[in-house]
Amino acid sequence: MIDRLLFAATVLAVLGSGLTGGVFFGFAAFMLKAISRLPAPQAIAAMQSITRAIKNSLFLAVFFATAVLAGVVGLAALFNWSRPGSAYLLLGCLLFLGFPFGVTLLKNVPLNNRLASAKPESVEGASYWREFHARWTLWNHLRWLGALAATTSLLVALVKASASTS
């Protein structure tokens, strides 16, 4: 019973991590590039709109649920350390909690909050936009790369665990 629950929680963590990484990759691959082509006032307004929209979205539910799952699955890996794949399981959970989740809370959200108070048409807003864009982009790359690494590690854990039972 516990093995099935751990398996299901790990599969959900893989899906959540993959979805999260996909969103952050989308920002890196095309959304930020498109927004950066706009004049600063329009870019600021667009990013402010995205930030407001994401706060009431399914993405946020998946993001936080995946963090909870990563915490639970990571603890299960510690308590079942002799189980095949436990090191990969713990690594994947730590990667998710550290990069997509941790970087978002510690770096991207504070940048978003400061941008939220910027007046798009002001000189200060345009000046902050350049700083915001460079820093937010850097942290976003770490988020999607961390989510990709977490997803990979969690998948390896599943493969190792299932290989040991066959």
Distance CA 138, CA 145 (A): 11
The pLDDT tens digits of the residues spanning 44-81 come to: 999 999 999 999 889 999 999 999 999 999 999 999 99
Residue 81 CA, distance from chain mean position:
26
CA-nearest of 28, 8, 9 to 146 is 28
Q: What is the predicted pLDDT for the residue at 160?
A: 94
Listed by start position, the domains of the chain span 2-165
Distance CA 124, CA 129 (A): 8
8 A C-beta contact, residue 158 and residue 152: no
pLDDT less than 70: residues of the chain: 166
Distance CA 89, CA 81 (A): 10
